[in-house]
A and B are shown apart, each in its own frame.
Chain A
Amino acid sequence: EAGVTQFPSHSVIEKGQTVTLRCDPISGHDNLYWYRRVMGKEIKFLLHFVKESKQDESGMPNNRFLAERTGGTYSTLKVQPAELEDSGVYFCASSPLLAGGPFEQFFGPGTRLTVL
């Protein structure tokens, strides 16, 4: 079974440009999460989808970040316009929606975003 996949693996853009990150969760996982790790700091929660609905977006830094999960399958995270402080590794994770949780979240390899 395929794991969580993320695209692209690396992105280098200039300040002010737009970037869209994509995450494909494990098939059948209704929970989808976005996290971000800025260099040397903790991995921080950005938001949580249950199917296509945003369950918790308390970690989104500001309105330059827009996440979508149309149809409850893959998700995109758009940064527009990108700023220098947005550089970091963006992780996506998914987990099943089952009673008795929370179960482990399965993580993708991350997208390394560099804003110059």
Chain B
Amino acid sequence: AQKVTQAQTEISVVEKEDVTLDCVYETRDTTYYLFWYKQPPSGELVFLIRRNSFDEQNEISGRYSWNFQKSTSSFNFTITASQVVDSAVYFCAKHGANSKLTFGKGITLSVRP
């Protein structure tokens, strides 16, 4: 099976700390897409980023940044200067040749004031 592994299950940090959420994936597809979603306490999954397999440039959006390393099949997510509002469950997911997203188990991030 083409899995997405988020080895960290729960992370707790103090506000203003940087935190990195790890994501490792398996794939046999030549072309694929990687995603991160955030699930706040309200329950819906909020899209954060989409990255295709041909674009290995790192991306920064405000306090969020993503490091895509095709050689290690990793797509890690860093939050700089974390805030309490960042507390949520974060899911990494992959979309391959078929129509479905394959998700990791999610990482529960708690940011304490």
**Residues on A close to B: CB < 8 A?**
3-4, 31, 33, 35, 40-45, 48, 55-56, 58-59, 89, 91, 93, 102-110
Contacts and interface: CB of A to CB of B under 8 A. Distances in A.
Given A91-B45, A110-B44, A45 B104 contact: no
B44 A48 contact: no
Nearest to A46: B100
B72 interface: no
A93 B93 CA distance: 14
B104 A42 contact: yes
Contact of A109 (B33, B44, B95): B44
A41 B45 contact: no
Interface of B: 4, 33, 35, 37, 42-47, 50, 91, 93, 95, 98-106
Given A56-B100, A59-B100, A42 B105 contact: yes
Given A3-B44, A91-B45, A42 B50 contact: no
Contacts of B100: 33, 45, 48, 56, 58-59
Contacts, number: 58
Given A3-B44, A104-B35, A110-B44, A45 B101 contact: yes
B84 to A, nearest CB: 21
B44 A104 contact: no
29 contacts: A3-B44, A4-B44, A31-B99, A33-B99, A33-B100, A33-B101, A40-B105, A42-B102, A42-B103, A42-B104, A42-B105, A42-B106, A43-B91, A43-B106, A44-B103, A45-B100, A45-B102, A48-B100, A56-B100, A59-B100, A91-B45, A102-B95, A102-B99, A104-B35, A104-B47, A105-B47, A107-B47, A109-B42, A109-B43
A55 B103 CA distance: 20
Nearest to A55: B99
Contacts of A4: 44
A93 B35 CA distance: 14
A56 B43 contact: no
A33 B47 CA distance: 15
Contacts of B35: 104
A56 B98 contact: yes
